[in-house]
Amino acid sequence: MRLVDQHCHSVVRADLDPAAFAALITESDRPPAAGTTPFDSATGLAVRRWCPPALGLPEYAPAADYLVRRRELGPAEATARLLAAAGLDCCLVDTGLTGAAGRPLLPLAELAAATGAEVREVVRMESVAERVDSTAAGWSLAVRAALESACAEAAALKSIVGYRCGLAVPPGPPDEAEVIRAAGAWLSGPRTRLADPVLLARLLWTAVEVCEPLGLPIQLHTGFGDPDLRLHLADPALLVDFVRAVEPSGVPLVLLHGYPYHRQAAWLAASFPHVYADIGLTVTHTGARAAEVLGEVLELAPFGKVLFSTDAYGLPELFLVGAAQYRHSLGRLLAGWQADGGCPAADAARIERMVSAGNARRLYRL
């Protein structure tokens, strides 16, 4: 079954030396501790399981052999093989990250060619806001105009407010006087990274207003990610007041990743019609344990509200691992349910179709 990858990033075009490759299979941007390697992890095992066969090596070829083979083929050929093997029908690509490991990423057209998939853009709203130049008094309107323009072709907007100040987003837009004050400080500073909670709240509420007439969903980072995060502030349960306040607008909210708070994300998806739960990043990084984690998501999340993605970034391997580990793990989970009398075969097949592609097609009108 071909998949709709509802949240991913592009991949590095250049060849990668072993250290750069290893750095990209972990969410950490730090060097590994002395005496350890990122290959000794659930993700590392999953890369060695799913990727060597796509390059003509046996499963679990040693990492060193794999990297030699990858360089022999060259990055274009290796990328094409790995992405084709992922079996993706459509990719929604967050274009907020423009490089990985200091190297540029493939433009979307080339990513489309290599995956054989339709590629649509997900616009990271903080990146849009960081590029806005205006007076303090004009910031709110300038951000709105920039978001409207960015949305013209987009499949969704994305927020990383969970990284910047946490998910306890207020249940309504901030007062404009406060916004102007905060914008004044931001616009007169170095503007490297928008982290002011008032501006971030204004931005997110503007996104809701912009998405409503367009029927566009908003994706929110929740749960684990890179070390820039304060994990407990990325608990999606903290979004509840925002979720309730957005509900009348009907704008769908997609809770990305969620782990280790994926049960909380599932509760929100079960409780509120406009909330959806993503499983990307989580399935890739939990490797051999992904079936259990998927099981935890499906305890409360309605099957029509769960969305596959890879959250692949930088390495084409992460597309293949995300897709292959997902297929294998959901299959194993549902086979276990069937063996225990808990799910007829026809329902299992329907669940797979919904999570793999159907839910995303309906939500994003693909």
Q: Which of residues 34-63 bind its own copies (CB under 8 A)?
A: 34-38, 40-42, 45-46, 49, 59-60
Dist. CA 254–CA 218, nearest whole Å: 6
Give, as ranges, the residues between 103 and 132 that touch its own copies (CB under 8 A): none
Q: Are 161 and 219 in contact (CB under 8 A)?
A: no
Dist. CA 266–CA 260, nearest whole Å: 11
Closest contact distance (angstroms) between CB of 302 and its own copies is: 5
Report if residue 136 touches its own copies, rule: CB under 8 A: no
- The pattern of x and - marking residues 254 through 273 that bind its own copies according to CB under 8 A reads -----xx--xx--xx-xxxx
Dist. CA 305–CA 363, nearest whole Å: 9
Contact pick of 300, 307, 321, 357 for its own copies (by CB under 8 A)? 300
Residue 165, helix vs strand vs coil? coil
Closest contact distance (angstroms) between CB of 344 and its own copies is: 5
CA 217 to chain centre: 14
Q: Which is nearer to its own copies, 116 or 170 (CB)?
A: 170
Q: What is the CA radius of gyration of the chain?
A: 20
Give, as ranges, the residues between 307 and 346 that touch its own copies (CB under 8 A): 332, 337, 340-344
- Which residue has 């931001």 as its token pair? 186
Report if residue 171 touches its own copies, rule: CB under 8 A: no
Contact pick of 12, 16, 27, 217 for its own copies (by CB under 8 A)? 27
Closest contact distance (angstroms) between CB of 228 and its own copies is: 9
Residue count at the site for its own copies (CB under 8 A)?
73
User: Rounded to a whole number, what is the distance in angstroms from the first to the last CA of the chain?
Assistant: 16
Instruction: Give ∠ CA 193-195-198 in degrees, rounded to 5.
Output: 135
- Which residue has 């083979």 as its token pair? 69
- Which residue has 């999953």 as its token pair? 46
Among 10-18, 103-111, 295-303, 307-315, the segment contacting its own copies (CB under 8 A):
295-303
Report if residue 226 touches its own copies, rule: CB under 8 A: yes
Report if residue 305 touches its own copies, rule: CB under 8 A: yes
Report if residue 175 touches its own copies, rule: CB under 8 A: no
Q: Which is nearer to its own copies, 104 or 331 (CB)?
A: 331
Give, as ranges, the residues between 75 and 104 that touch its own copies (CB under 8 A): none
Backbone angles phi, psi at 57, to 5 degrees: -110, 160
Dist. CA 24–CA 29, nearest whole Å: 8
Report if residue 298 touches its own copies, rule: CB under 8 A: yes
Contact pick of 288, 349, 353, 365 for its own copies (by CB under 8 A)? 288
Give, as ranges, the residues between 204 and 223 that touch its own copies (CB under 8 A): none
Among 76-84, 115-123, 178-186, 284-292, the segment contacting its own copies (CB under 8 A):
284-292
- Residues with Cβ within 8 Å of 75's Cβ and at least 6 positions away in sequence, in order, are 12, 13, 14, 15, 16
Q: Which is nearer to its own copies, 54 or 150 (CB)?
A: 54
- Residues with Cβ within 8 Å of 319's Cβ and at least 6 positions away in sequence, in order, are 5, 8, 11, 82, 83, 86, 88, 115, 310, 312
Dist. CA 155–CA 187, nearest whole Å: 29
Closest contact distance (angstroms) between CB of 42 and its own copies is: 6
Dist. CA 321–CA 309, nearest whole Å: 11
Among 2-10, 15-23, 70-78, 286-294, the segment contacting its own copies (CB under 8 A):
286-294
The single-letter code of the amino acid at 90 is C
Closest contact distance (angstroms) between CB of 288 and its own copies is: 3
Closest contact distance (angstroms) between CB of 203 and its own copies is: 24
Report if residue 289 touches its own copies, rule: CB under 8 A: yes
Closest contact distance (angstroms) between CB of 361 and its own copies is: 10
Q: Are 63 and 315 in contact (CB under 8 A)?
A: no
